[in-house]
Amino acid sequence: MLSRVAENIFWMSRYMERTNIHLRNLQTLYIASQDGVPVISWETIYKEYNPGQKSAACTGDSEILQNIFFDNNLEYSLSNNILRARENARSAQDHITKELWQSLNDFYHQMRNPALKAQIANHDPITVFDQFIKQCMHYYGTVDNSMFRGEGFYFLRIGGFIERALQCILLLKRQLMISDISRPEQADPVSWRYLLISLSGYEYYLRANAGSFNVESMYNQILYEDHFPNSVAYSLYQTASFTKSLKKSNLEEQKDSIEFLLGKTIAYLKYNKPEPDTNSRLEFLTQLESGIHEIVQAFDRHYFKVAY
Amino acid sequence: MKQKSILGDYNMLQGVFDEMMAPGKVRDHYAKFISSFTGLKDAEVDSKNELAQKLFMTQGITFTVYSSGEGIEKIFPFDMIPRIIEASEWDYIEKGIKQRLKALNIFLKDVYHQQFIIKDGIIPASLIYSCPNYLREMVNVDVPFDIYSHISGIDLIRDHDGSYYVLEDNLRTPSGVSYMLENRNMSYRIFPNILPENKVRQVKEYPELLVKNLLALGNEKSSRPTVVLLTPGIYNSAYFEHTTLARLMGIELVEGRDLVVQNHKVYMKTTKGLKKVDVIYRRVDDEFIDPLVFRPDSVLGVPGIYHAYRKGNVAIVNAMGNGVADDKAVYSYVPDMIRYYLNEEPILKSVPTYKMENQDERKYAIENIRDMVIKRTNESGGYGMLIGDCATDEEIATFIDEINKEPRQFIAQPIIKLSTAPCYIDGKLQPRRVDLRPYALYGPDGIDIVPGGLTRVALKEGSIVVNSSQGGGSKDTWIID
């Protein structure tokens, strides 16, 4: 497979994963605000999406959500994510299936549908969330059922799981800043519950910890639970597994370096227990994040941007 | 009753050949389709028409215009009513195109080698050497199987008496074939069962025929040749076509930056290292293909590819330098080429062409400019063209001025009354001007022409320009037995 195409597929998958996680997180935050327990202010969220201040400031949940969804001047808006995913898919169109391309293309056209924009303005963002989340599910289903299990599929999966791990870390970091779990009296189990809901992990949590609302357990689930698909550990194990599949057909020196870095990062997650205070936990997460970025760089070096 | 109303509302243009209607009646080869079509309810026809437009957009059968930042998705307008040609007529077209292509290929071989046609005074040397698409770099370069134009799109039109004329030979990188394939897919959806009932010939073997020819070119180099399609990238308006063809042929779609030349051999950069490339179906124009030889500012091509080609280490399809054969001034000599190389009379007519560098012809054309179409010899897509009967005095004056300054850059042709075909517009059938671009594949085993081609249609009322850039659309072309 062409290096450029492999990179396009990797990034297409990252943008789609990012979109999915952001959609679910925003939806939960919106529901929380409607429940009367706002986890974080919309203005703070808006700043996260608009780091370069390219887009004009705005206020109110509807206006902010509208911009986060549709404003192309907003660096990390969902429409920009989809646009980038689609541009990457366009460049790799001969290596993804026609069905997958059409699924992405549909998503793109939905993002440009003025009726959906109006729906947010009319205070009905849930319908818009539902529609886009359904489109994400369509994308995942199409990947699973139509993509040939070859290099393209492996790069797609690796990109997705790397992004998922990074997004989980970002969400955890934000959550730690909101709710200090080192002091149980200050920890806010409600906001942790919403975080788990946004990662589709609350039902799993209830089954494993019936009746108890322990924020430490919630934190551990997102970080370490290897049966929970939206945990950092699960994402890293899956990345390692798909990298191994890739290895069957690739050069020795490529896989060794990446495997080593993956092993190092997984070992760091598994065997390093940070001190229970928030700063140590944040530092730990930052280290983990750097480890994942190193893995991405190794993929760049060995697969995507090889110098000849 | 309904048939009567549809046809009663159909106003044929005076003095113009209509593909569907003979005076007073529907032509025999359209009769079956029209009877099926009139059996549909009005609302059904409208919804099918709407469905077709929607499908093009959702399936991404679009071209993107990048004007400011994000691109704007556009579809190549599709008209649901097929253009129907009967088999006997198609056989005649096929023979004519094969004859023409044979002559043009010999001409390309000749003009880049011994130049007998110039020495024998059939074509003036000045015409060839003044052609900007004549590449001196191709002189004495041997191409595999002596085939230069592996893929050609020959534009045909019909005059008022129904006779076919060749309007243009596209021997460089003719586009539009993916629309031929997609239009057929659309017809299947819109008119279920009607295609088999009409015994419409298939077009879907085009990718198989093309890849067979491409592999044949590489067989000398490798038992399993690597074939790639070289695209200028996602910003190219024909990118959809490139991806479609690559996917249907099962070959890699590469950009210039994916290829590298080492020791005069071309390699592609893969996740497993460099992989040698044997055949390149390029959709990048000559001037951009190698910045070391042609345009130095090109980022679309591959540095060093020309020398790899010259050494015979890679086959490039179509060959470089074909532009000299489809130059609009050289076009008028094609009948002479057929007589000279094949010793045959041309089957397909050419539109009479006045070369502006010839003083007498220029004088005649300028005197009769209102009855002429003036074209730049080196432009296509409906650009650089003046249609005498609908141009303003000012536009005519500007063109005359330019012609006098650079006569070699212009030709004049009498305005041909392009035939019309029925189109479904505003809820009824209306006649619109059409041309036809059949696609011919020239391989080591001979020439194959997929039955049909792309019918382009001038959707604007009164227009005779069918190019997509000028408001044209397309329709499916049915060859029926």
At the top level of CATH, the class of B92-166+200-342 is alpha beta
CA-based nearest residue in chain A for residue B254: A2
| Predicted pLDDT at B98 | 97
| Inter-chain CB proximity B252 and A6 less than 8 Å | no
CA-based nearest residue in chain B for residue A247: B272
Q: Does A248 reach chain B within 8 Å, measured CB to CB?
A: no
Architecture field, domain B352-414? 2-Layer Sandwich (3.30)
| Inter-chain CB proximity A3 and B269 less than 8 Å | yes
- DSSP per residue, A116-175: HHHHHHTT-HHHHHHHHHHHHHHHHHHHHHHS-TTHHHHHHHHHHHHHHHHHHHHHHHHH
| Inter-chain CB proximity B234 and A151 less than 8 Å | no
Over pLDDT 90: what percentage of chain B? 60
Which has the minimum average pLDDT: A283-287, B42-46, B266-270?
B42-46
| Predicted pLDDT at B475 | 94
Average pLDDT, chain B: 90
Condensed to tens digits (0 to 9), the pLDDT of residues A137-191 reads 999 999 999 999 999 999 999 999 999 999 999 999 999 988 877 777 777 888 8
Q: Judged by CB atoms within 8 Å, which residues 56-75 of A form the interface with B?
A: 72
- pLDDT level of residue A63 (50, 70, 90 thresholds): confident
Residue pair A222/A245 in contact (Cβ under 8 Å)? The answer is no
Distance from CA of A251 to the nearest CA of B (A): 6
Instruction: Kindly list the residues from chain A whose CB atom is less than 8 angstroms away from the CB atom of residue B269.
Output: 2-4, 306, 308
> B349: closest CA among B359, B338, B341, B358?
B338
Which has the minimum average pLDDT: A52-61, B229-238, B438-447?
A52-61
> Is 60 exceeded by the pLDDT of residue A106?
yes
User: DSSP assignment, residue A57?
Assistant: P
Q: Report the C-alpha gap between B269 and A2 in whole angstroms.
A: 6
Instruction: Kindly list the residues from chain A whose CB atom is less than 8 angstroms away from the CB atom of residue B248.
Output: none
| Predicted pLDDT at B263 | 95
Distance from CA of B217 to the nearest CA of A (A): 22
Residue among B271, B281, B302 with most chain A CBs within 10 A, to mutate: B271
**pTM of this prediction?**
0.88
Q: Which long-range contacts (CB under 8 A, 24 or more apart) does B387-395 make?
A: B387/B415, B387/B464, B387/B465, B388/B415, B389/B415
> Is 70 exceeded by the pLDDT of residue A227?
yes
Rounded to 5 degrees, what angle do the CA atoms B81, B82, B83 make? 125
Reported in sequence order, the residue ranges of B76-173 that DSSP labels E, i.e. its strands, are: 78-86, 151-158, 164-170
> Is 60 exceeded by the pLDDT of residue A2?
yes
Q: Report the C-alpha gap between A243 and A196 in whole angstroms.
A: 28
Distance from CA of residue B302 to its chain's centroid? 25
Q: Give the nearest partner residue to B271 out of A93, A102, A250, using CB atoms.
A: A250
| Inter-chain CB proximity A3 and B270 less than 8 Å | yes
**Average pLDDT rounded to a whole number, residues A224-249:** 90
Which has the minimum average pLDDT: A117-126, A257-266, B437-446?
A117-126
- Rounded to whole angstroms, what are the CA distances from B142 to A3, B109, B114, B211, B475? 33, 8, 12, 22, 39
User: DSSP assignment, residue B341?
Assistant: I
**Average pLDDT rounded to a whole number, residues B392-415:** 88
Instruction: Kindly list the residues from chain B whose CB atom is less than 8 angstroms away from the CB atom of residue A110.
Output: none
Over pLDDT 70: what percentage of chain B? 95
Instruction: Kindly list the residues from chain A whose CB atom is less than 8 angstroms away from the CB atom of residue B272.
Output: 249-251
| Predicted pLDDT at B449 | 96
Reported in sequence order, the residue ranges of B340-384 that DSSP labels E, i.e. its strands, are: 349-350, 354-355, 372-376
Q: Report the C-alpha gap between A68 and B67 in whole angstroms.
A: 24
CA-based nearest residue in chain A for residue B248: A94
Name beta bridge partners: B436: B156, B455
Q: Is B83 helix (H, G, I), strand (E, B) or coil?
A: strand
The crossing angle, in degrees rounded to 10, of helices A125-146 and A98-111 is 170
| Predicted pLDDT at B409 | 85
**Average pLDDT rounded to a whole number, residues B70-84:** 83
Which one of A201-215, A294-308, B244-258 scores highest in mean pLDDT? B244-258
> Is 80 exceeded by the pLDDT of residue B471?
no
> A15: closest CA among A95, A97, A75?
A75
| Inter-chain CB proximity A251 and B272 less than 8 Å | yes
> Is 70 exceeded by the pLDDT of residue B101?
yes
Q: Give the nearest partner residue to A3 out of B57, B58, B271, using CB atoms.
A: B271
Condensed to tens digits (0 to 9), the pLDDT of residues B334-384 reads 999 999 999 999 999 999 999 888 889 899 989 899 989 898 887 665 667
A276 burial type by CB count under 10 A (0-12 exposed, 13-18 middle, 19+ buried): exposed
Q: Report the C-alpha gap between A286 and A128 in whole angstroms.
A: 33
| Position with higher pLDDT, A212 vs B308 | B308
Cα-Cα end-to-end distance for chain A: 16
Instruction: Kindly list the residues from chain A whose CB atom is less than 8 angstroms away from the CB atom of residue B260.
Output: 308
| Predicted pLDDT at B376 | 85
Which residues fall within 8 angstroms of residue B99, CB to CB, at 6 or more apart? Answer: B338, B342, B344, B346, B347, B348
Condensed to tens digits (0 to 9), the pLDDT of residues B17-32 reads 999 999 888 999 999 9
Average pLDDT, chain A: 89
CA-based nearest residue in chain A for residue B244: A94
Distance from CA of B66 to the nearest CA of A (A): 12
Which residues fall within 8 angstroms of residue B289, CB to CB, at 6 or more apart? Answer: B282, B298, B300, B301, B302, B305, B306, B316, B320
CA-based nearest residue in chain A for residue B246: A94
> Is 60 exceeded by the pLDDT of residue B4?
no
Residue pair B83/B19 in contact (Cβ under 8 Å)? The answer is yes
> Is 80 exceeded by the pLDDT of residue A279?
yes
Domain extent listing, chain B: 92-166+200-342, 352-414
**Average pLDDT rounded to a whole number, residues B111-132:** 94
